[in-house]
Structure 1
Amino acid sequence: MESLIIHTESKDYPVVIGYDVIHKLRDFLIESQFSKVLIITDTTLEKLHLSTLQKELIGIGIEVFVVPSGESAKTFEVFYQVQTYALQSHLDRNSVIVAFGGGAVGDMAGFVAATYMRGIPFIQVPTTILAHDSAVGGKVAINHELGKNMIGSFYQPEAVFYDMRFLETLPKQEVRSGFAEIIKHALISDKNFYHWLMNKTPAFSKLSNKHLENAITMGVKIKGNIVSKDEKETGIRAFLNFGHTLGHAIEAEMGYGKISHGEAVVIGMVFALQISQDIYELEFELDTFTTWLEGLGYTTKIPIGLSPSKLLVRMKGDKKAFSESVRFVLLKEIGNPGLKSLTDEYLLEKLNLFMEGERI
Structure 2
Amino acid sequence: MKHILPTIVIAQFLCTSLWFAGNAVLPELAASLQLPASYLGHLTSAVQIGFIVGTLIFAMLTIADKFSPSKVFLISALIASIFNGMMALQSMEAWQLLLYRFGTGFFLAGIYPVGMKIAADYFEKGLGQSLGFLVGALVLGTAFPHLVRSVTDAFPWEFAIYATSILAVLGGLLIYFLIPDGPFRTPATKFNPSAFFKVFQVKNFRHAAFGYFGHMWELYAFWAFVPVILIAISGNQELDISFWSFLIIAVGGISCALGGIISKVVPPKKIAFTALALSATCCLLSPLVLNIPNPSIVLIFLLIWGLAVTADSPMFSTLVAKNAPSASKGTSLTIVNSLGFGITILSIQLLNFMARSIPTPYLFLILALGPLLGLIATARIKTQH
Q: Which has more helix, going by share of residues?
A: 2
Structure showing the higher strand proportion among its residues = 1
Q: TM-score, normalised by structure 2?
A: 0.25
